Structure 1
């Protein structure tokens, strides 16, 4: 697979020893930016997410496969190599390659790679320019360091679930996880940012460094305004459904035929909203004249608003309020979101051809949100089949055909 030359990370080589979501999300970002990412997978089984289905991929003629679509979310633009790192010959080969790459990303348990001689201290001796990023549940230090960490556990432990969902006294009340594994995804984002910063620092110092990335650290960081509120007051914020703790009205409302989302973020927008619905006196009412007042009198405001919003259809409200610069929009299904004209105009569905001999001719993925004018994202490879590039990469690493065949015969690749 030919790597693009006009990308931001052209020439950067990444050895990806990670699996599941946080690490692969990080390395997919690097791959999208042009790095040559080689993903190491277990022979015969590969990344766990290859089997996390349903749903599963389909062949060109519509037949089901055993390849889960989950894997495709975070592994495009990479090359897959199957290699058994539990074998001495596999370890030796990885150490040989790590001496020549720019970045290693791994998400094994703390100390898990030291027994293979694949930890940072072992590898930096041969490659002092190496940037080595570890992704764990709880970091390299502290009483939980040895524990395995998962997105759901961290959503609960960090307090994120305590502010997600309806209040206990409401129908369906109770803590909820976010609908996607946001801690894993944010961890991948933070890890890729740290790697880019380390590459920049290396350009000035000539030296690599170690990056300790933890799901728990990220989970606490992305509490954002909710954490800031607690630190300022000592009070733990609680679940409030779809309403915003600091803004009002900023939530979903029932309409004549469904639901709409109102996101009024300032007093000017609220005043325009009141004019549209022919209730200008609300904007002058001391209970509602300012955002802070509206938050304090949220229940009274909602009691007035809800009957009015039910008078028109969702489409009518969206058209009417959009024309008056009042943020209002639909609550889409994912299918509706992909069919949205703005989503289609931005090209957010990317169709990637794949020729891996398994009958899957194309895999669709979601476009990278990174839009660089001079060094754009290039989509040069669909999420690979297991071991699709093993021979190709091993040859690039300098192995002869006889050496490759010996490794294959032994089950190492």
Structure 2
């Protein structure tokens, strides 16, 4: 069945991760996403390897593992919109589009006539989403924004890593570009909200989404902890600031996660572990008391948990409904029977790569598949069908534009 956004056309002028993450979700939901890339080079991430799924050559950037992570379901066309001819082509695509997503520096597209005001003047129903590091306003607006920088400036790194005084203590970034991913998801929600609004009013929207804003919003309880207490949270390693015990514990042969979310689960844990005296201790019966007496409790639990293997603990605690689990590497993740049952790995047949592997969309609808049926595109793979089918160019016109370096 066609996806729920099968009636939506998206013009994707974004690169790297935050914008492409948003447009990939729209493509998964059935939208027709046309990705405009630079001739010969393409999206920056096409050169971000190894690893390569398809090795690059002098004439073609191939497929990097990075670029296939965020561009499933799109059609790729190469257009140099620094040229007047290229600008005209992009404007024609925007005339037919429902959504434009771009992540250029503030004002970067205005000189080409591809900014929100210019494109919404020719298509008032257009939803135009700009993704930047710091937003369209404010003293930092013109700065370039990268995920690592945003993780640092947003405060995320100040609460990630081992606490001061512990081995390896220093502010630490998260192992994926979380600020980009968070921003992509906020952008997706904003775009879909604007499309619903347009259905009621007939008017499009201009959306300003900033990595810094989104990552600060995603600090969630940690930001709220500061706003309520006036005290900046600090790095706590794998401990939780508000819930105890909610951390990593060493076992006889490795580590497990113990994630006790309430007092009833703590009582179940103590009973299962044979720690009845700990469960009855008034220092630990309520979460508020466990937070206050965190160190004493951690010492008691750490000694007990170290006496059994990880598998023994997981089997025991699962029987008693106590949240716990192993710490998997990514190879173990994709070998996990539950992950397999949920269909999170998708494989697309491909003439050049043999197979293009993907992590499927985690959102599942009862009525339709929510992972795009087509794999990430090679650079310019759909140029002819877009230029002839969408823009009505003739073969002679395409040849002329190629000769000029526009395509």
Both structures adopt the same fold (TM-score exceeding 0.5): yes
SS in 1 for 2:131: strand
Structure 1, residues 93-133: CA drift from partner, whole Å, max 9, x if none?
A: 11112111100000000000000000111111111000000
Residue in structure 1 matched with residue 111 of structure 2 by the alignment: 115
**Alignment partner of 1:399 out of 393, 396, 401:** 393
Residues 163 and 237 in structure 2, CA contact (< 8 A), matched pair in contact too: yes
SS in 1 for 2:234: coil
The 2-side partners of 1:354 and 1:106 are apart by 29
**Alignment partner of 1:336 out of 332, 357, 361:** 332
Quick check: 1:185 aligned with 2:178?
Answer: no
The 2-side partners of 1:278 and 1:12 are apart by 58
The 1-side partners of 2:372 and 2:97 are apart by 22
Quick check: 1:390 aligned with 2:383?
Answer: yes
Residues 8 and 376 in structure 1, CA contact (< 8 A), matched pair in contact too: no
The 1-side partners of 2:393 and 2:252 are apart by 68
Residues 129 and 208 in structure 1, CA contact (< 8 A), matched pair in contact too: yes
The 1-side partners of 2:398 and 2:339 are apart by 45
Residues 254 and 309 in structure 1, CA contact (< 8 A), matched pair in contact too: yes
Residues 137 and 149 in structure 1, CA contact (< 8 A), matched pair in contact too: yes
Residue in structure 2 matched with residue 69 of structure 1 by the alignment: 65
- Structure 1 residues 302 and 378, CA gap change in structure 2 (3 angstroms): closer
SS in 1 for 2:406: coil
Residue in structure 1 matched with residue 58 of structure 2 by the alignment: none
Residue in structure 2 matched with residue 366 of structure 1 by the alignment: 359
Structure 1, residues 132-177: CA drift from partner, whole Å, max 9, x if none?
A: 0000000000000000001111100010000000111101111000
Q: Aligned runs of 1:206-355 on 2, under 5 Å?
A: 206-355=202-351
Residues 7 and 378 in structure 1, CA contact (< 8 A), matched pair in contact too: no
SS in 1 for 2:279: helix
1:66, CA displacement in angstroms? 5.2
1:197, CA displacement in angstroms? 0.4
Residues 81 and 387 in structure 1, CA contact (< 8 A), matched pair in contact too: yes
1:54, CA displacement in angstroms? 1.7
Residues 361 and 371 in structure 2, CA contact (< 8 A), matched pair in contact too: no
The 2-side partners of 1:56 and 1:136 are apart by 28
Residue in structure 1 matched with residue 32 of structure 2 by the alignment: 36
Residue in structure 2 matched with residue 379 of structure 1 by the alignment: 372
SS in 2 for 1:193: helix
Unaligned 5+ segments in structure 2 are: 56-60
The 1-side partners of 2:202 and 2:54 are apart by 47
Bigger drift between 208-217 and 389-398 goes to 389-398
Residue in structure 2 matched with residue 62 of structure 1 by the alignment: none
Residue in structure 1 matched with residue 159 of structure 2 by the alignment: 163
1:374, CA displacement in angstroms? 2.2
**Alignment partner of 1:83 out of 46, 67, 79:** 79
Bigger drift between 376-385 and 294-303 goes to 376-385
1:6, CA displacement in angstroms? 2.0
The 2-side partners of 1:208 and 1:361 are apart by 42
The 2-side partners of 1:270 and 1:117 are apart by 61
Unaligned 5+ segments in structure 1 are: 60-64
Residue in structure 1 matched with residue 137 of structure 2 by the alignment: 141
SS in 2 for 1:99: helix
1:379, CA displacement in angstroms? 2.7
TM-score (norm 1): 0.95
1:199, CA displacement in angstroms? 0.5
SS in 1 for 2:96: coil
Structure 1, residues 266-303: CA drift from partner, whole Å, max 9, x if none?
A: 11111111111111121111110101101111110111
**Alignment partner of 1:126 out of 122, 136, 139:** 122
SS in 1 for 2:122: coil
The 1-side partners of 2:357 and 2:22 are apart by 19
Residues 105 and 132 in structure 2, CA contact (< 8 A), matched pair in contact too: yes
The 2-side partners of 1:269 and 1:327 are apart by 8
The 2-side partners of 1:384 and 1:332 are apart by 31
Residues 256 and 312 in structure 1, CA contact (< 8 A), matched pair in contact too: yes
The 2-side partners of 1:388 and 1:103 are apart by 21
The 2-side partners of 1:120 and 1:303 are apart by 58
